[in-house]
Chain A
Amino acid sequence: MSSNAPRLTALDALHRSLGATMTDFAGWDMPLRYGSERDEHLAVRTRAGLFDLSHMGEITVTGPQAAALLNHALVGNIASVGVGRARYTMICREDGGILDDLIVYRLAENEYMVVANASNAQVVLDALAERAAGFDALVRDDRDAYALIAVQGPESPGILKSLTDADLDGLKYYAGLPGTVAGVPALIARTGYTGEDGFELFVAPSDAEKLWQALTDAGAPVGLVPCGLSCRDTLRLEAGMPLYGHELTTSLTPFDAGLGRVVKFEKEGDFVGRAALQEAASRAEENPPRVLVGLVAEGRRVPRAGYPVVADGKVIGEVTSGAPSPTLGKPIAMAYVDAAHAAPGTAGVGVDIRGSHEPYEVVALPFYKRQK
């Protein structure tokens, strides 16, 4: 096998037995969809869906100065995250450009798990290892130590409760605790990327198939279906969640991405990118950068990443993600547009779809918010 061969998750054989259409994603062979991506999407919105997310990159940071290292390496205030809680944050370059967006779980007083996007896992690992110099902390590559299975959707708490004694009612959104699910040791996290209630289960790869099967069986009566990356993308788009490489890139700072709130200047100590980010913050205040907005099509043509957003015949922005929305029944997109055209309801905005200017409505994000 050549070194360019795609990496396979512990569930690879299972996906193939389920008839999944597979796709290359960041060097991994991943399920794109099992049947209709629209049906999978709607299952997550109304019932439950099961995802293999084993391509995500887990990095464990331990030691007396684990918190101090992460406060230095990331833009968030990680030291203030309570044990058992999780936080959405970013890792930036010295010039403020976003290297990746991350979820950091505090597993114990001196133990954190950093979850990076598959495409950036090596970059994040290298940056953390480099930034660890001088800190009494250890950065460990745990990508091979975990498979990651997500169960998402309104029925997911019921499904999981039938398989675990863990106190799920006490587990808040953006929290994680160790437990046992279907007899398998797991880090049970109430996180996800779909806009629905749901759980992400980090388990040993050797346990992944057993857990997947147990969740499949427990979920069958309430309509749980296996789901691929295609519907994961439309779910996160409806939920207005950014995707690295689309809404977030090294050429944007968190302030350019409208996510300046994740940068905590008030935290103790210096952190990588502080000076550049302070500049970006004042720049954004004086001269608003392009704003990330939602666009809803009046017609049926689908905007794609990179398509120009236009008004009065001029380019005023660019689409970063677009897809037909199964929930809204119309094409939707996220786009960075000039601040002058960013207000919801702004008239005269269109997307240049292969030469034809199609009308779009500017809306506030997210497109979809679940009823709690």
Chain B
Amino acid sequence: MSNPQQLRYSKEHEWLSVAEDGVSTVGITEFAANALGDVVYAQLPEVGDTVTAGETCGELESTKSVSDLYAPVTGEVVEANQDVVDDPSLVNSAPFEGGWLFKVRVTDEPADLLSADEYTEFSGS
């Protein structure tokens, strides 16, 4: 598996796109999706919610477990991926593409986000 170079990564295994017009897209990495197993339910933050870096903002449920979804940055949610709500398996099949989770207008981001290479080393993926 390879982690796209243009993205940044959190130690909670979220990825974050570089903001365009101040808006970044958030998802979970392929490493995290594989670790979860088949995702069967996604509770995403809603449009208008304020999420805070490092705090939970939703949950992903797989066959065997439920995992908190953490916000990699602080900001206001401007879109949640309805396709993932309707078909959570997108998180497994296309974690970096169609399986993105939400878009956020970033107001603050932590300094410790990782580059693709750093994340690859961190996750051993």
Contact = CB atoms under 8 A, between A and B. Distances in A.
A302 to B, nearest CB: 5
Interface of B is mostly: mixed
A38 B61 CA distance: 14
B58 interface: no
B40 A33 contact: no
Contacts of A36: 37-38, 92
B63 A234 contact: yes
Chain A's interface size range is: 10 to 19
A300 B41 contact: yes
B63 A301 contact: no
A323 B40 CA distance: 10
A18 to B, nearest CB: 15
B38 A38 contact: yes
B37 A301 contact: no
Contacts of A38: 38, 63
A37 B66 contact: no
Given A37-B37, A302-B41, A324 B63 contact: yes
B38 A300 contact: no
A133 B119 CA distance: 60
Interface in A264-321: 300-302, 304
A30 to B, nearest CB: 13
Contacts of B40: 300, 302, 324, 331
8 contacts: A21-B37, A36-B38, A38-B38, A230-B63, A233-B64, A302-B66, A324-B38, A324-B63
8 tightest Cβ-Cβ pairs between the two chains A and B? A324-B40, A300-B41, A38-B38, A302-B61, A37-B63, A36-B38, A37-B38, A37-B37
Interface of A: 21, 32-33, 36-38, 230, 233-234, 300-302, 304, 323-324, 331, 354
Interface of B: 34, 37-38, 40-41, 61, 63-64, 66, 92
